[in-house]
Amino acid sequence: MSKFQALESYGNQLNYELLPFSFDRLNDDEYILTNLAGEHLVMAAADVPTIINRDLDPSHHQFASLRAKHFIRYPEEQAPLSLLALKVRTKYSRLPPFTNLHIFVVTLRCDHSCPYCQVSRQMEGEGAFDMTQEMADKALDFVFRSPNPAIKIEFQGGEPLLNFDMVKYVVIEAKRRNLQMGRDLQFVIATTLSLVSEGVLAFCKEHSILLSSSLDGPQELHNVNRPRPGKDSHQRFEAGLKLARESLGYDQVSALMTTTDKSLDRVRDIIDEYLRLGFNGIFLRTLSPYGFAIKTKKFMSYDTARWLDFYKEGLAYILELNKAGIPFIEQYSALVLKKMLTSEDPGYVDLMNPAGIGIAAIVFNYDGAVYASDESRMLAEMGDESFKLGNILTDSYEQIILSDRLLDALDESFTLSAPMCSECAFEPFCGADPVYHHAMYKDVLGRKAESSFCQRNMAIFKHLIELKRNDRQTRDIFMGWANGC
Residues 6+ apart with CB under 8 A from 276: none
pLDDT at 294 over 90: no
**Cβ density class 1-27: b for 16+ within 10 Å, e for less:** eeeeeeeeeeeeeeebeebebbbbebe
Helices (H), 233-303: 233-248, 267-276, 292-295
pLDDT digits (tens, 9 = 90+) for 101-150: 999 999 999 988 787 765 555 555 556 799 999 999 999 999 999 999 99
**Cβ density class 449-467: b for 16+ within 10 Å, e for less:** eebbbbbbbbbbbbbbbeb
Looking at residue 430, what is its pLDDT?
95
Q: Which domains does the chain have, with CATH numbers?
A: 7-91 (no CATH), 101-401 (3.20.20.70)
Looking at residue 288, what is its pLDDT?
76
Looking at residue 301, what is its pLDDT?
62
The CA distance from 191 to 398, in Å, is 32
**Cβ density class 276-294: b for 16+ within 10 Å, e for less:** eeebebbbbebbbbbbbbb
The whole-model pTM stands at: 0.91
Residues 6+ apart with CB under 8 A from 460: 308, 311, 332, 333, 336
> Mean pLDDT for the chain?
92
pLDDT digits (tens, 9 = 90+) for 160-172: 999 999 999 999 9
Looking at residue 11, what is its pLDDT?
46
Looking at residue 3, what is its pLDDT?
65
Looking at residue 5, what is its pLDDT?
60
The CA distance from 181 to 174, in Å, is 10
Q: Say if residues 101 and 337 touch (Cβ distance below 8 Å).
A: no
Looking at residue 449, what is its pLDDT?
87
Q: How many CB atoms lie within 10 A of CB 369?
A: 20
State the average pLDDT over residues 195-207.
97
Looking at residue 485, what is its pLDDT?
65
pLDDT at 380 over 60: yes
pLDDT digits (tens, 9 = 90+) for 341-360: 998 899 999 999 999 999 99
Higher pLDDT, residue 94 or 315: 315
pLDDT at 8 over 70: no
The CA distance from 235 to 214, in Å, is 13
Q: Reduce the DSSP state of residue 61 to 3 states and report it.
A: coil
DSSP 8-class letter at 105: E
